[in-house]
A and B are shown apart, each in its own frame.
Chain A
Amino acid sequence: MATLLQPEKVLYLVRGEKKIRVPLSQLYFCRYCSELRSLECVSHEVDSHFCPSCLENMPSAEAKLKKNRCANCFDCPCCMHTLSTRATNIPAPLPDDPTKTTMKKAYYLACGFCRWTSRDVGMADKSVASGGWQEPENPHTQRINKLIEYYQQLAQREKLERDRKKLARRRPFMPQAFSEKYGLGTRLQRQRSGAPISALYGLSLKEGEDQKEITIEPAQALDEVEPLPEDYYTRPVNLPEVTTLRQRLLQPDFQPAGASQLHPRHKHLLMKRSLRCRKCEHNLSKPEFNPTSIKFKIQLVAVSYIPEVRIMSIPNLRHMKESQVLLTLTNPVENITHVSLYTCEEEDPDDINSTAKVLVPSKELVLAGKDAAAEYDELAEPQGFQDDPDVVTFRKSNKIGFFIKVIPQREEGDVTVAFKLRHDFRNLAAPIRNTEEVEATSEAIWLTHHVELSLGPLAT
């Protein structure tokens, strides 16, 4: 029997600031709050930067200096693939004897996907394999840098004034230098949605530096604009020469309209992020520092704590007729878990999507613990669980298959059912209060989750 592995069919409800319904594989579980967390109710923090093609790590300060781009790798301006360096042999005159020629290596950039080469835009071949390629200089850089400096100074001054006002109100005995140290470094201040200009404060000058006044001249408005060329409306369009919008907007400095001005740009860095629960400030996911490693230092994902429901087979569903749907329930933890299912009550505020009535098994289902060595054990001992054959179809190590009865209520549309899943969870993260009470560490708490299944359309 094929398992319907599409995870979007089974959604778990997350009760955060917003009610989000997501498959279990995309959720995290905070052991300290004992609640499910989705990507929208955690705070994301940047861990490290790395280049996706050369896998080189870069500290965050250096990344900011290089505008989050790798120093060695280039992107094809045409298809955004990674460029590779190719070499040709060209005859070049020897420096000692101009009459004789020797073969020298010349390097050029080429894209393996769309066959773009650096010679297409007129970039000369370089004699060194790496480091010879320069990005074109933006003519407006000076003016932009000056403007940024001016606004940084302005932001810092405003911040100082605001802090001074606050200090004057609350703690008059605090030294003034304190306020600058308590800038946007702490998390609590970061989370409040302050004035937009405070975002620039992080880039400001060092404290204590003499702040010289920077003045900028306002931009000049021009009356005359360069006229369009005369044949602008009559010249036929050379389609291969026109750049696509995507190619153009990937280079916002220049936005070239012609393909012969598309220069390659350095490759964007990717980053590894760590996630943190907003309520208890514990880390939910922390990757390893090494870009080549895919493991995590801390990985509190929901699939390793919450039993997962999957749809195994759906019969033909007919309007107002009862059919049995086969589901599987998998236990991810190593100890025995007791699961009971409940139908949603009549006026349940979470139950907005269901279009069918569902009858769940009334007895409690027992799941065996996950035993990693069980797959190598040929003489699997039969587990001593008494299963009601009407409810439980099969049992295999930590997984059981069971039936639910579904009665579609609507004549058309997809059939969606919802029910509540209640299971016991042993919190191994709780601190040991007393060395004598060993059982207190594995105290079970009961968690309830709202699960929605989408069973597809009615059979015609």
Chain B
Amino acid sequence: MFIIGMLVPNSSNVKIAMGAVVCVESDIRGDVTIGARTVVHPKARIIAEAGPIVIGDGNLIEEQALIINSYPENMLPDAEDVEPKTMNIGINNVFEVGCVSQALKIGDNNVIESKAEVGRNVILTSGCIVGACCAVNTCEVIPENTVIYGSECLRRVQTERPQPQTLQLDFLMKILPNYHHLKKTVKASSTPARS
């Protein structure tokens, strides 16, 4: 037998708050809540497989970014005792192009740069920057204002947190609707249309 599509999640509804700009070409599945002033680019993927995802305000999720709340690797999807864990993402975060984020808890003002990977057991506090192509798969809480950079994932602490991308968000919220259809911002919407 083969599986058509993917498993039916708990409840396939996407709650998009007023003021958020979510393009139709983005792929959002499962129980996802998106806060106000968040911009989700086309071809971004937010997949809530093993539990709901709650995304805060002012986030910027760029193309081909993947935010996935998936089952841990060694568990079968049909296992009985798996509890759905909610993935919480704070405000003013930036998920750059092509990054993969599976972290269950992300705070505020973090930046996950292009093609970075953040594992499930990592907890990002505030002001962390995961550099381009860095894979962080450890089981730890990353302290505030940490910068992870380089091919060996060196770390250093910076004195100030990265600035929220308000200018970029404002610009995108004006320009994106000119070129893309947006998903409806209703409290509880039906299965979103995909193109």
Measuring CB to CB, which residues of chain A are less than 8 angstroms from any residue of chain B? 78-79, 113-117, 119-120, 240, 259
CB pair B159 A259 closer than 8 Å: no
Closest-by-CB residue of A relative to B159 is A120
* Secondary structure class of chain A's binding surface, majority of residues: loop
CB pair B155 A240 closer than 8 Å: yes
- A sample of 5 more A-B contacts (CB under 8 A), given A115-B149, A119-B160, A120-B159, is A79-B154, A115-B147, A115-B158, A117-B160, A259-B156
Does chain A have a CB within 8 A of B9? Answer: no
CB pair B156 A78 closer than 8 Å: yes
CB pair A116 B156 closer than 8 Å: yes
From A79, A120, A259, contact of B149 by CB (8 A): A79
A380–B41 Cα gap in the complex (Å)?
53
Closest-by-CB residue of A relative to B160 is A119
From A113, A119, A240, contact of B131 by CB (8 A): A113
Residues of B in contact, count (CB < 8 Å)? 14
From B129, B146, B147, B162, name the one whose CB has the most chain A CB atoms within 10 angstroms. B147
B contact residues around A259 at 8 Å (CB): 156
Closest-by-CB residue of B relative to A122 is B159
CB pair B162 A115 closer than 8 Å: yes
Closest-by-CB residue of B relative to A78 is B156
Q: In the complex, which residues 127-178 of chain B have their Cβ closer than 8 Å to any Cβ of chain A? A: 129, 131, 146-147, 149-150, 154-160, 162
A245 to chain B, nearest CB (A): 13
B contact residues around A116 at 8 Å (CB): 156, 158
CB pair A240 B149 closer than 8 Å: no
B contact residues around A78 at 8 Å (CB): 156
A136 to chain B, nearest CB (A): 19
CB pair A120 B158 closer than 8 Å: yes
A106 to chain B, nearest CB (A): 14
B contact residues around A120 at 8 Å (CB): 158-159
Closest-by-CB residue of A relative to B157 is A240
A248 to chain B, nearest CB (A): 14
A79 touching B150 in the complex, CB below 8 Å, given contacts A113-B131, A240-B155: yes
Q: In the complex, which residues 22-64 of chain B have their Cβ closer than 8 Å to any Cβ of chain A? A: none
B contact residues around A114 at 8 Å (CB): 131, 147, 149-150, 154, 156
B152 to chain A, nearest CB (A): 11
CB pair B156 A113 closer than 8 Å: no
Closest 9 CB pairs of A and B: A240-B157, A114-B149, A115-B147, A120-B159, A115-B158, A240-B156, A115-B129, A114-B147, A113-B149
